[in-house]
Amino acid sequence: MIELLQVAQVPPFLIDRLKAEYTVHDFINPSDPEAMLREIGPNIRGIVAGGMKGPDAALISALDNLEIIASFSVGFDATDVAAAQTKGVIVTHTPEVLTGDVADLAMAFILMAPRRIGESERFLRAGTWTERRMDLGTTVRGKRLGILGLGRIGRAVARRAEVFGLNIAYFDTKPMGDLTYRSYPTLLELAEASDMLMVACEGGAATRGLVDEAVLNALGPNGYLINTARGPIVDQQALVKALQDGRIAGAALDVFDGEPNVPAEMMAMENVVLTPHIASSTAETRRAMGDLVYDNLKAHFAGKAVLTPVPHQI
């Protein structure tokens, strides 16, 4: 049997399906990784990775017969793609199949943060409604939504937001062609022109800390930050401080720098919506993602082209 190395948690249905056709070695938290690699390393031809945990350059280099890394995620920043591609190793991911669910959560956040929906539920559950009325929220109609990264998910959010009467603008390093949305030359200028700033760009070293103190200051005391992309794109300490100081009005976050740990300061804030990285967490989407991981591996080992390769990074 072809042997695979599992380095990230993926749904049991996918592992069960893979184990029916491959030998799958659990390398998520090995007690002695070096000894395990000495024993099975030469036999490993594929890696099953995830969006938050993937093989680094050292692991890729240690596997002489590695051919493919199949990631259960649309983001591939957890895998050292450049190291893999330099070695001739194919890297695949799961785009498209999770776009709708991620965009749905982002749109929910766009509504929840200014309308104070999370806060209002806590207000009701605490019994405070029997004592007084809750303070007013803010409508989204006519507001300006700035999107950082107008890829698949960014565009899907833009289409949803238009229906709710928001005005869309964006910043992206790649040419977007003839779009009706206004493009800004810098992220800072986009933030200055936005009531809500939504993070939808790729994670990784190039975008770490991209949303920094200056961007948050430009967003301003009436602005909201929305992030369903990757936590490290936002300077988390700068965000905490901006929220504490009232330099932005609030935030809605599905991802964090250092997750599953979330800053205690954020946990105590009423004006912050927090969810545990659930943007693609529906049974339908996870099944489709698992099917795509399986299909990519199946195609490769059958000598065919993979379905969804990661773009060339070197």
Where do the domains of the chain lie? 3-97+284-301, 99-274
Active-site option among 152, 208, 247, 277: 277
What CATH fold (topology level) applies to the domain 99-274? Rossmann fold (3.40.50)
Alpha carbon distance 19, 46 (integer Å): 13
The residue type found at 309 is P
Q: Which of 32, 4, 75 is nearest to 289 (CA)?
A: 75
Which position among 208, 259, 265, 287 bears the catalytic label? 259
* Distance in angstroms (rounded) separating the CA atoms of residues 148 and 201: 6
Our answer to whether residue 160 is catalytic in this structure is no
Spell out the CATH class of 3-97+284-301. alpha beta
Q: In what order do the strands lie in the sheet with 90-92?
A: 23-26, 3-6, 44-50, 68-72, 90-92
Is 123 within 8 Å of 134 (Cβ atoms)? yes
Choice among 230, 270, 284, 300 that is catalytic: 230
Encode the chain (314 residues) as per-residue pLDDT tens digits: 999 999 999 999 999 999 999 999 999 999 999 999 999 999 999 999 999 999 999 999 999 999 999 999 999 999 999 999 999 999 999 999 999 999 999 999 999 999 999 999 999 999 999 999 999 999 999 999 999 999 999 999 999 999 999 999 999 988 777 788 999 999 999 999 999 999 999 999 999 999 999 999 999 999 999 999 999 999 999 999 999 999 999 999 999 999 999 999 999 999 999 999 999 999 999 999 999 999 999 999 999 999 999 988 86
pTM for the full model? 0.92
**93 given a catalytic annotation:** no
259 is catalytic: yes
Q: Helix or strand or coil: residue 261?
A: coil
Task: Judge whether 3-97+284-301 and 99-274 match in fold.
Answer: yes
